[in-house]
């Protein structure tokens, strides 16, 4: 274990009602990186985060948070960490500024120290001048940004973010990405869970993919793509009314692609070199074809499958 790591998780396991939610996972954050935890619904990401914060007790394994071994010293460790929980737990009866004050005081900060930080925190979150606004007057995106501002009230070196952009429109999501990039550039360390593969690709230096409580692959986005997927993807869109063209395309693709997968009416072809397949598809009219580089979503779907999890 690196003595300098802000978070070290070793052989962590936790079951609910005898069913493992987290099943013996280990990972270690490097100072200044954004580390992503990806996985389908129920994979165990939130349980992992809760154990990392000492708010859920593991059945087995160890968590060392900001140099403090949990569960002892949990409160002291949490005071040095910023958290954006999956569901906003802002106080609806308080104003924007009051929410930041109450949260900071809980961690032992003085009111004057918190008040001095509020204008900058709100500016950072795109909520400048909203100190006195009532919580109910904020949009979902504003609330999420306020939760991020709140996580920064104690100027933590480590942030644990559980799906920080779920439910946000593209504008709000881009704003949060830009702010998170600033935090990373400032040297903060981030543990991020997300269902958005583009978010993980943009923000995370390294990531772990979880399924059924286990880490099934770990590495940088580039490494994972290179390790698991052919470099080119050709998507061919079919038509439920007339399946002949897509069936023909499937026959051609199966001769040339390393792997073909039908999802709904779309055929995904994974190839090392796309030219020949694209040329063959071009001679048949009526097919819509998209050629793109392989991405993290392809890796995720290959490793965790396309079946729904709930």
Per DSSP, helices labelled H in the chain are 45-52, 74-78, 96-106, 111-124, 140-151, 170-185, 197-203, 221-228, 244-256, 275-282, 296-304
Instruction: Give me the residues paired with residue 234 across strands.
Output: 269, 291
Q: Which stretch binds ligand ATP (CB under 6 A): 4-12, 34-42, 113-121, 300-308?
A: 34-42
Instruction: Give me the residues paired with residue 291 across strands.
Output: 234
Q: Which of 40, 82 has the CB closer to ligand ATP? A: 40
Q: Which residue from 18, 41, 186, 264 is in contact with ligand ATP, where contact means CB under 6 A?
A: 41
Q: Which of 45, 144 has the CB closer to ligand ATP? A: 45
Q: Which stretch binds ligand ATP (CB under 6 A): 39-47, 132-140, 174-182, 200-208?
A: 39-47
Q: Which stretch binds ligand ATP (CB under 6 A): 28-36, 43-51, 170-178, 229-237?
A: 43-51
Residue 125, Cα to own-chain centre: how many angstroms?
Answer: 19
Least separation in angstroms between CB 224 and ligand ATP: 18
Q: Which of 203, 260 has the CB closer to ligand ATP? A: 203
Q: Which of 26, 266 has the CB closer to ligand ATP? A: 26
The SS3 assignment for 31 reads: coil
- Least Cα distance to 57 among 66, 67, 47 occurs for 47
Separation in Å, CA 218 to CA 9, 107, 209? 14, 34, 6
Q: Which of 21, 224 has the CB closer to ligand ATP? A: 21
- Least Cα distance to 286 among 256, 255, 248 occurs for 248
Pairing type for strands 288-293 and 232-237 reads antiparallel
Number of residues that bind ligand ATP (CB under 6 A): 10
CA atoms within 13 A on the CB side of 216: 19
Asked if residue 177 lies in contact with residue 5, where contact means CB atoms within 8 angstroms, the answer is no
Least separation in angstroms between CB 36 and ligand ATP: 13
What token pair was written down for 222?
A: 């580039």
Least separation in angstroms between CB 87 and ligand ATP: 10
Q: Which residue from 23, 35, 38, 46 is in contact with ligand ATP, where contact means CB under 6 A?
A: 46
Question: Residue 36 interacts with ligand ATP (CB under 6 A)?
Answer: no
Question: Residue 207 interacts with ligand ATP (CB under 6 A)?
Answer: no
Least separation in angstroms between CB 29 and ligand ATP: 18
Q: Which of 58, 238 has the CB closer to ligand ATP? A: 58
Pairing type for strands 7-16 and 266-271 reads unpaired
Q: Can you state the percent helix, strand and coil of the chain, rounding each to 5?
A: 35, 25, 35
Question: Residue 194 interacts with ligand ATP (CB under 6 A)?
Answer: no
Least separation in angstroms between CB 208 and ligand ATP: 12
Most distant CA pair in the chain: distance in Å? 72
Least separation in angstroms between CB 16 and ligand ATP: 3
- Least Cα distance to 149 among 200, 195, 185, 98 occurs for 98
Question: Residue 161 interacts with ligand ATP (CB under 6 A)?
Answer: no
Question: Residue 43 interacts with ligand ATP (CB under 6 A)?
Answer: yes
Q: Which residue from 13, 23, 45, 300 is in contact with ligand ATP, where contact means CB under 6 A?
A: 45
Question: Residue 39 interacts with ligand ATP (CB under 6 A)?
Answer: yes
Question: Residue 165 interacts with ligand ATP (CB under 6 A)?
Answer: no
Residues that bind ligand ATP (CB under 6 A): 16, 21, 39, 41-47
């Amino acid at each position: 274990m690196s003595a300098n790591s802000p978070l070290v998780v070793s052989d962590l396991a936790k079951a609910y009602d005898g069913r493992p939610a987290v099943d013996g996972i280990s990972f270690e954050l490097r100072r200044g990186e954004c580390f992503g935890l990806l996985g389908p619904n129920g994979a165990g990401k939130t349980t992992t985060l809760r154990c990392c914060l000492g708010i859920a007790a593991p059945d087995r394994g160890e968590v060392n948070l900001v140099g403090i071994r949990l569960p002892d010293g949990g409160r002291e460790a949490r005071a040095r960490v910023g958290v954006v929980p999956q569901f906003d737990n802002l106080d609806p009866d308080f104003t924007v500024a009051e929410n930041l004050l109450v949260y900071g005081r809980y961690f032992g900060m003085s009111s004057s120290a918190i008040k001095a930080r509020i204008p900058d925190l709100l500016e950072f979150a795109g909520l400048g001048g909203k100190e006195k606004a009532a919580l109910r007057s904020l949009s979902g995106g504003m609330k999420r940004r306020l939760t991020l501002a709140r996580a920064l009230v104690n100027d933590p070196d480590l942030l644990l973010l559980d799906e920080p952009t779920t439910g946000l429109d593209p504008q709000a999501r881009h704003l949060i990405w830009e702010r998170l990039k600033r935090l990373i550039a400032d040297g903060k360390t981030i543990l991020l869970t997300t269902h958005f593969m583009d978010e993980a690709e943009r923000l995370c230096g390294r990531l772990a993919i979880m399924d059924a409580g286990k880490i099934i692959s770990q590495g940088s986005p580039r490494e994972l793509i290179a390790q698991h997927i052919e470099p080119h993807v050709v998507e061919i869109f079919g038509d439920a009314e007339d399946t002949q063209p897509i069936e023909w395309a499937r026959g051609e693709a199966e001769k040339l692609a390393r792997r073909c997968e039908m999802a709904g009416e779309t055929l995904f072809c994974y190839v090392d070199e796309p030219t020949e397949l694209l040329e063959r598809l071009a001679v048949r009219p009526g097919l819509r074809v998209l050629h793109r580089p392989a991405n993290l979503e392809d890796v995720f779907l290959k490793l965790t499958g396309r079946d729904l999890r709930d």
